Amino acid sequence: MKLWEKETKVSDIVERYTVGRDLEFDIQLAPFDVLGSLAHTEMLCSIGLLEQEEKELIHRELKSIYGDIVSGEFSMRDGVEDIHSQVELMLTERLGDVGKKIHSGRSRNDQVLVDLKLFMRQEIKEIAEGTQVLFDQLTQLSEQYKTVLMPGYTHMQVAMPSSFGLWFGAYAESLVDDLHMLQAAYKIVNKNPLGSGAGFGSSFPLNRKFTTELLGFEDLNYNVVYAMMGRGKAERSLAMGMAAIGATLGKFAMDVCQYMGQDFGFISFPDELTTGSSIMPHKKNPDVFELMRGKANRIQALPNDIALMTANLPVGYHREMQLIKEVLFPALQDLKDCLFMADFMLDKVRISEDLIVKDKYKYLFSVEETNKLVLQGVPFRDAYKQIGLAIEKGDFDPERSVDHGHEGSIGQLNLEEIKVMMAANMAHFDFEKWEQAINELVE
C-alpha cells in the first residue's frame, strides 16, 4: 500500500531502490507514529473535521495498535511502504472510511518529522540517563580511590603525580560538559513540526498549538517552511551531542586499553570480562574497550556523515533524507550500549594501589621537590636547576608524596560541586513534562 499511489504502478526495480532499508528503521518509529496520529486526530475533532464518535473509534483502534507495539506484537506487512501507510491501512481495515480521515491536514513530510522528533526526544532521554549512570559510577570510583597515586603523562612521558581519583573524576566532569551539547540538541528536537504539511501549511484551520500541548513539546516550529528545513538539522544537532559523549568515551577507552597492558599494569578486570588469544596463552585482551573506542570514533564521525548527506539541498523535502536513519539509528544504539558497557565494566575494575613505589616513577616527583625548595625561599629557576643537576648525577631520591590542596587537585577533587553541575544539567531536560503528556494521550 502506498498513500500516494493512483493508477500507474511503479517499477519493482525502482521501488526496491527507493525504499532501500527504510522499513528496517521504520519499525522503531511505530509507537511515535501512533502518538502523532492520536494528537492529530484529537485536534481534527476540535476543529470539526472529525465527529466526536469518529474520533473515539479512531482513538480506540490507535491505542490498541499502540498496545501491540509496546508488547512486541506489531510487525510491518509485506508490500507496505512505510509505518504511516501501515497504521492507516490497519485503521481502514478495522473502521472503513473513518480510518481514511486521519490524514486530513498533514503530509507524510510533517508526519515523519513529528515521528522522528518524538523518537529522538525519547532517545535523548535514554542517552542522558545512561550518561548519568556512568557519571555516578565514575564519581564513586573517584571518591574511593582519591588518595591512590598514579603516574601522569605529557607527551606520553612520565610527568607528574596524578591519582586514580583525578583520572576517574576527569571523565565524570567531561560528561557534564557533554550533556550541554545534548541539551542543545534537545531544545531543537523538542519543537513540534506537526501541521506544517509538505512544508507550506494547510487551508484547514489547524490548531498547531493544541497538538504541541498534547505531545508535550516545549514549543512549535512556527514557520512551516522552516519546519521542513528542520529535517536533517535536528538529526545533525543530535549527532553533535552524541559525538561529544562519544569523544569522552573514546578517550577513556583508549586510556583503559593502555593502562591494562603489562607495561603499565595500572588496572585490571576479572578474567571473564576479557578475551584470550588463539596462540598466546597469557593474553587478556581489552576487547570491550577496543570495540568501545571504535564505536565512539564512528559516532564522532556521525555529524559529518549527516551534514554531507544534506549539504547544498534547496528548501523543501528531498528523498536522501531517509538515508539519515541508516547512520543515525544504529549509532544511537551503539552509544547507549557503550554507556552501559562502560558502567558494567567499571563496576568490576581492579586498581593497582602500589604503583608509585616503583623506581621508574621516582622522576614524577621532580616538580614536587622543586616546589619544596621554592617554598623555602629558593628562586624557582635556581630550584629547578638544583633538582635537574641531582637527576643528572643520579642523586635524586624524592619523598613519594604530594600536597596538592587547591580546587580540582589531588587533595581537593570537588566532586560535590561536579555532582551539583550534573544534577542541574539533568533538571534542564524536563523529561517529566512530556512523559506526563504522552501518558495522558494514551490512557
Average pLDDT, the chain: 92
> In terms of domains, do 98 and 179 share one?
no
Question: Which pLDDT band, with edges at 50, 70 and 90, does 316 fall under?
Answer: confident
Chain centroid to CA 218: 20
Q: What is the pLDDT of residues 404-417, one digit of tens each?
A: 889 999 999 999 99
> In terms of domains, do 121 and 68 share one?
no
The reply to whether 284 falls in a domain is yes
> In terms of domains, do 191 and 249 share one?
yes
What is the per-residue pLDDT for 178? 98
- For residue 321, CA distances in Å to 112, 135, 151, 162, 330 come to 11, 34, 48, 47, 16
> In terms of domains, do 280 and 381 share one?
no
Give me the mean pLDDT over the 101-121 stretch.
94
Q: What is the pLDDT of residues 167-203, one digit of tens each?
A: 999 999 999 999 999 999 999 999 999 999 999 999 9
Q: CA-to-CA distance for 249 and 252, rounded, in angstroms?
A: 5
pTM here is 0.92
The H-assigned helical ranges of 276-365 are: 287-300, 302-310, 324-346
> In terms of domains, do 174 and 51 share one?
no
Q: What is the pLDDT of residues 324-335, one digit of tens each?
A: 999 999 999 999
What is the per-residue pLDDT for 24? 77
Domain span at 366: 357-393
> In terms of domains, do 122 and 241 share one?
yes
What domain count does the chain have? 3
CATH code at position 166:
1.20.200.10
* Rounded-to-5 percentages of helix, strand, coil across the chain: 65, 5, 30
The reply to whether 406 falls in a domain is no
To the nearest 10°, report the CA torsion of 192, 196, 199, 203: -170
The reply to whether 1 falls in a domain is no
> In terms of domains, do 49 and 172 share one?
no
> In terms of domains, do 232 and 321 share one?
yes
> In terms of domains, do 272 and 368 share one?
no
Question: Which pLDDT band, with edges at 50, 70 and 90, does 4 fall under?
Answer: very low
> In terms of domains, do 267 and 139 share one?
yes
Question: Which pLDDT band, with edges at 50, 70 and 90, does 9 fall under?
Answer: low
What is the per-residue pLDDT for 317? 83
The reply to whether 370 falls in a domain is yes
The reply to whether 439 falls in a domain is no
Q: What is the pLDDT of residues 26-81, one digit of tens each?
A: 889 999 999 999 999 999 999 999 999 999 999 999 999 999 999 999 888 877 77
> In terms of domains, do 284 and 421 share one?
yes
Percent of the chain with pLDDT over 90: 75
Q: What is the pLDDT of residues 387-434, one digit of tens each?
A: 999 999 999 989 888 888 899 999 999 999 999 999 999 999 999 999
The reply to whether 298 falls in a domain is yes
